[in-house]
């Protein structure tokens, strides 16, 4: 309060505060530190001066010079000179704080009255539902409490949405990608449609890990994966395209675990594959574990195999890596498991301003822990657990850091459709 009082008192007096170039002062050039030269009215701030001086020097590294002769002639002049120095220091500190915090005020109000769009490359499924839930709660933890909406942009196994945020969306912090981490597999496999680098996104974090499960129609007679391997016919697996769980998970089971499968691609989204399962047009479907569970709870599918991330209630299903009949197969399946550990990750454009990234990361972390969000997610049968942006970035970097030999072999099994 006393600082405000000094500031107000000073500004209320004509000629009380005047600044000019320090280079004109006789003491200029004698200090290596920057010099702040102000002329102020005499104020009794002696005791406060001694409190502020160390902090002022720490913050600015500057020397203050009052408008006085180097050596006052008498005691009264010395006293007045000291008072001018004290007041100059206070005004200098206040002025510095005022101007240095102005940009922060402007940025903290950036989101006020604006709308954030969360882009998700799916029409339905656990990723889309989780994105909706996060969107419901994110805005209240951002300064200005902006509106948050979801834009569904299905196509090319989430590559369309990812390309959009990386290349087309403005880098202003108003567009967020609700990513499918399997797009990193498409990048690793050099899928032609990839127009992004997951390592260059600014990741906000993840709302939780999500494993993968392979399932078949519930009306089929096979109760275990062993029974499926002994089947007298190929089962048709509906897929959305390379890089997706719907494609890669059954492909690796076919090539390295003996599953009798025929992959049929071309479905725009997981919801379309599920519809094909319900119509008995296809026999098998692989997707995120929570998505498969929703269909299993309705009696549509029967899960037979899972990835290394276990969904509660399905811990006893065989793990794909343990079913592999070769070291290469086991290695490729392990690579496929990293996206599941990353889970439902959110990101913004690589050129987004750093202050907005910081605000979004802070808001995201708080939103994922929000009791109302957790209650909504529980009702939707989706587990929420914060994974930090540092961990998400670390996992993506690890996934992309593969040997040329591994990449060469991987390209034989995960590649763009013709």
Q: Quick one: pLDDT band at residue 192, thresholds 50, 70, 90?
A: confident
Residue 363 has pLDDT above 60, yes or no: yes
Q: What is the pLDDT of residue 235?
A: 97
Please tell me whether residues 163 and 278 are part of one structural domain.
Answer: yes
Q: What is the pLDDT of residue 8?
A: 37
Q: Quick one: pLDDT band at residue 334, thresholds 50, 70, 90?
A: confident
Residue 349 has pLDDT above 60, yes or no: yes
Report the pLDDT averaged over residues 31-55.
39
Residue 354 has pLDDT above 60, yes or no: yes
Report the pLDDT averaged over residues 406-411.
82
Q: What is the pLDDT of residue 403?
A: 80
User: Does 7 or 174 have the greater pLDDT score?
Assistant: 174
Q: Quick one: pLDDT band at residue 122, thresholds 50, 70, 90?
A: very high
- Domain termination residue (choose one: 78, 93, 108): 108
Please tell me whether residues 228 and 150 are part of one structural domain.
Answer: yes
Please tell me whether residues 278 and 198 are part of one structural domain.
Answer: yes
Residue 273 has pLDDT above 70, yes or no: yes
Please tell me whether residues 70 and 173 are part of one structural domain.
Answer: no
Q: What is the pLDDT of residue 202?
A: 99
Report the pLDDT averaged over residues 334-358.
94
Percent of the chain with pLDDT over 70: 73
Please tell me whether residues 189 and 319 are part of one structural domain.
Answer: yes
Residue 383 has pLDDT above 80, yes or no: yes
Q: What is the pLDDT of residue 245?
A: 85
Please tell me whether residues 215 and 102 are part of one structural domain.
Answer: no
3-state secondary structure the chain: CHHHHHHHHHHCCCCCEEECCHHHCCCCCCCCCCEEEEEECCCCCHHHHHHHHHHHHHHHCCEEECCCCCCCCCHHHHHHHHHHHHHHHHHHHHHHHHHHHHHHHHHHCCCCCCEEEEEECCCCCHHHHHHHHHHHHHHHHCCCCCEEEEEECCCCCCHHHHHHHHHHCCCCCCEEEECCCCHHHHHHCCCCCCCCCCCCCEEEEECCCCCEEEEEECCCCCCCHHHHHCCCCCEEEECCCCCCHHHHHHHHHHHHHCCCEEEECCCCCHHHHHHHHHCCCCCEEEEEHHHHHHHHHCCCEEEEEECCCCCCCCCCCCEHHHHCCCHHHHHHHHHHHHHHHHCCEEEECCCCCHHHHHHHHHHHHHHHCCHHHHHHHHHCCCCCCCECHHHHHHHHHHHHCCCHHHHHHHCCCCCCCC
Please tell me whether residues 150 and 18 are part of one structural domain.
Answer: no
Residue 91 has pLDDT above 60, yes or no: no
Q: What is the pLDDT of residue 137?
A: 98
Q: What is the pLDDT of residue 105?
A: 45
Number of domains in the chain: 2
Residue 172 has pLDDT above 80, yes or no: yes
Percent of the chain with pLDDT over 90: 57
Range of the domain at 367: 110-418
- Domain termination residue (choose one: 89, 108, 127): 108
- Domain termination residue (choose one: 108, 125, 157): 108
Please tell me whether residues 74 and 114 are part of one structural domain.
Answer: no
């Amino acid at each position: 309060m006393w600082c405000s009082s000094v500031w107000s008192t000073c500004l209320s007096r004509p000629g009380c505060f005047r600044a000019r170039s320090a280079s004109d002062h006789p003491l200029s050039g004698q200090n290596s530190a920057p010099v702040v030269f102000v002329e102020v009215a005499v104020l009794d701030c002696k005791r406060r001066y001694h409190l502020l001086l160390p902090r002022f020097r720490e913050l600015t590294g500057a020397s203050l010079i009052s408008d006085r002769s180097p050596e006052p002639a008498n005691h009264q002049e010395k006293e007045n000179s000291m008072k001018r120095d004290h007041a100059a220091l206070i005004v200098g500190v206040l002025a510095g704080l005022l101007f240095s915090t102005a940009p922060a005020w402007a940025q903290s109000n950036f989101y006020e009255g604006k709308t954030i769009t969360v882009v998700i490359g799916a029409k339905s499924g656990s990723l889309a539902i989780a994105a909706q839930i996060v969107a419901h709660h994110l805005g209240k933890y951002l300064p200005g409490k902006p509106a948050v909406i979801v834009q569904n942009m299905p196509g090319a196994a989430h590559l369309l949405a990812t390309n959009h945020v990386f290349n087309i969306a403005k880098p202003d912090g108003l567009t967020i990608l609700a990513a499918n981490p399997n797009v990193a597999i498409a990048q690793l496999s050099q899928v032609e449609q990839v127009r992004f680098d997951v390592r260059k996104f600014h990741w906000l974090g993840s709302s939780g890990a999500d494993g993968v499960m392979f399932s078949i129609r519930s009306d089929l007679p096979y109760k275990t994966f062993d029974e499926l391997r002994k089947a007298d016919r190929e089962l048709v697996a509906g897929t959305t395209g390379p890089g997706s769980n719907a494609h890669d998970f059954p492909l690796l089971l076919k090539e390295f675990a003996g599953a009798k499968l025929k992959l049929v691609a071309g479905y725009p989204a997981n919801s379309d594959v599920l519809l094909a399962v319900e119509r008995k047009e296809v026999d098998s479907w692989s997707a995120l574990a929570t998505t498969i569970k929703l269909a299993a709870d309705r009696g549509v599918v029967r899960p037979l195999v899972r990835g290394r991330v276990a969904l509660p209630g399905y811990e006893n299903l065989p793990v794909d890596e343990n079913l592999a009949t070769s070291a290469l197969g086991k290695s490729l399946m392990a690579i496929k498991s990293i996206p599941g550990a990353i889970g439902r990750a959110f990101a913004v454009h690589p050129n987004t301003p750093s202050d907005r990234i910081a605000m979004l990361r802070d808001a995201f972390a708080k939103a994922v822990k929000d009791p109302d969000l957790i209650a909504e997610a529980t009702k939707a049968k989706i587990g929420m657990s914060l994974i930090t942006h540092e961990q998400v970035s670390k996992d993506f970097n690890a996934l992309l850091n593969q040997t040329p030999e591994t990449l060469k072999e991987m390209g034989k099994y995960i590649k763009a459709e013709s």
